Structure 1
């Protein structure tokens, strides 16, 4: 989808102070040394007990809102993306984020699209604002904290190390420091069973008292018959290529035109195979090296990575940023931004 007159007006991030290194996790027996070598991560951030995902998201949201400088009454929608437990059961964390940032009576929506939550929120916000003729803004936040005993940041998943953190973006139909040129989303629900597994349904979370085990779920599905793994990889590669090209075409640019490419903080093997080899992303354009000190931060890698680019990579007017997400389910979203000025902050 090509967008006209939609702008990124603010970005924000919250990264907890406590650091847990890969070396510490290996020494404690929580992380396998061979897997650590293959994945390439160096460290993650660990939230305090009083910093569940929504609290972190509110911190990031307030920063983005302050930087945007848009009156609170113009915020017509707040969206919050997340993956893990949000600090309370049977609760609506997005309303907490809304109350702690912009308040008001605008629409508030929680997004559960796994690692694609932040970018899915960005596209939904764009669709919402495009239908508003009056001055309006949208706040999109993400926030996750991965805690034992429910989730093991080092052991619940393969090819991942999960870090705590939050991101935020303010989208406006009035102006900002970057234009949203395009977004594209593609869903392939035939791949949904990969993360559901084959063990059947449960009556509630954490019934067996053991951390979430995504290793077994994925293995049960991908190894259930010969060729299943290869077919899934081929499907994912095709889908990723398709959605990326659609977003680039709608933005009237080529991948080589992008100075920045922000993808999820994921394992070295996946980055090298999927992004560098198959999609042709140039390593120097990415936030990969930076992300090795933070790990995979749930729904927020892309928003947090965009904030890092704005703060530390000196974007100039005319620079393009392409960001790509993929969430279990499976959903892919790509967004293309064009900086119109270097953010004043």
Structure 2
């Protein structure tokens, strides 16, 4: 989708102060040394007891709203994307984020699209704003804290280390320091069983008192038939290429035109294979080395990474940024930004 009147007006992030390194996790017997070497994630941030996902998201949201400088009554939508437990059951964390970050009476929605949640929410917000004739803004937040005993950040998933953190972006249909040039999304629900596994349904979360075991779910599915792993990789590669090509075409650009490319903070082996080898992304355009100090922050890697680009990488007018996400289910989203000016903050 090509966008003509959607802009980025503010960005924010919240990263907890406590740091836990991969080396410490290996020494404590929580993380395999060979995995640590292969994955390449150096450290994660660990949220405090008073920092569940929505609290961090609200902090990131307040920063983005302050930076945007738009009136509270202009916010016609607040979206909150997340992956893990949000601090309470049978509750709507997005309304907490709205109340704590911006207020108002705009539409609120929670987005559960796995690691692609942040970018999927951006595309939803852009669609909402583009259809409004009056000046409006939308706040998108992400926030996740991965806590034991429900979730083991070092062991629940293979080739993935989970860090705590939150990101936020304010979109506007009346201007900002960057323009959203295009977005594209693609879903392939035939891959949905990979993270569901083969063990059947449960009556509730944490039903057996053990940490979520995503490793077994994936291996059980991929070992059901010979060649399943290769088939899945080929299918994912095709889907990723398709959605990237669509977003680049709608933005009237080539991948080589982008000064920045922001992808998830994933294992180094996956980043090398999926992004640098198959898609042709130049590692120098990414924030991956920085991200190795934070791990995979649920739905928020892309928004937090874009915030880092603006704060630390000196984007200039005319620079293009491509960001890509993929979430279990599976769904891919790519967004293209063009910087118009250097924000005052």
Q: Residues 62-85 of structure 1, C-alpha deviation per residue, up to 9 Å, x if partnerless?
A: 000000000000000000000000
Please show how residues 25-36 of structure 1 align to structure 2 within 5 Å: 25-36=25-36
What are structure 1's unaligned runs of at least 5 residues?
Answer: none
The alignment partner of 2:10 has SS state of strand
Please show how residues 15-94 of structure 1 align to structure 2 within 5 Å: 15-94=15-94
Aligned equivalents of 1:235, 1:337: Cα separation in 2: 27
Question: Who is 2:344 aligned against?
Answer: 344
Aligned equivalents of 1:223, 1:176: Cα separation in 2: 49
Q: Residues 215-247 of structure 1, C-alpha deviation per residue, up to 9 Å, x if partnerless?
A: 000000011110111000000000000000000
Say if 2:325 is the partner of 1:325: yes
Aligned equivalents of 2:49, 2:83: Cα separation in 1: 18
Say if 2:129 is the partner of 1:102: no
The alignment partner of 2:20 has SS state of strand
Question: Who is 1:164 aligned against?
Answer: 164
Question: Who is 2:270 aligned against?
Answer: 270
Aligned equivalents of 2:12, 2:254: Cα separation in 1: 28
Q: Residues 164-195 of structure 1, C-alpha deviation per residue, up to 9 Å, x if partnerless?
A: 00000000000000000000000000000000
CA apart distance, 1:342: 1.1
The alignment partner of 2:120 has SS state of helix
Please show how residues 138-287 of structure 1 align to structure 2 within 5 Å: 138-287=138-287
Aligned equivalents of 2:8, 2:344: Cα separation in 1: 13
The alignment partner of 1:13 has SS state of strand
Aligned equivalents of 1:344, 1:255: Cα separation in 2: 28
Q: Residues 77-128 of structure 1, C-alpha deviation per residue, up to 9 Å, x if partnerless?
A: 0000000000000000000000001111110000000000000010000000
Question: Who is 1:125 aligned against?
Answer: 125
The alignment partner of 1:239 has SS state of helix
Aligned equivalents of 2:283, 2:264: Cα separation in 1: 13
Q: Residues 31-68 of structure 1, C-alpha deviation per residue, up to 9 Å, x if partnerless?
A: 00000000001000000011000000000000000000
Aligned equivalents of 1:106, 1:159: Cα separation in 2: 39
Aligned equivalents of 1:41, 1:106: Cα separation in 2: 38
The alignment partner of 1:70 has SS state of coil
Question: Who is 1:315 aligned against?
Answer: 315
Aligned length: 345
> How does the TM-score come out when normalised to structure 2?
1.00
Aligned equivalents of 2:270, 2:342: Cα separation in 1: 32
CA-based RMSD: 0.4
Say if 2:118 is the partner of 1:137: no
CA apart distance, 1:7: 0.3
CA apart distance, 1:344: 1.3
What are structure 2's unaligned runs of at least 5 residues?
Answer: none
Aligned equivalents of 1:320, 1:263: Cα separation in 2: 15
> How does the TM-score come out when normalised to structure 1?
1.00
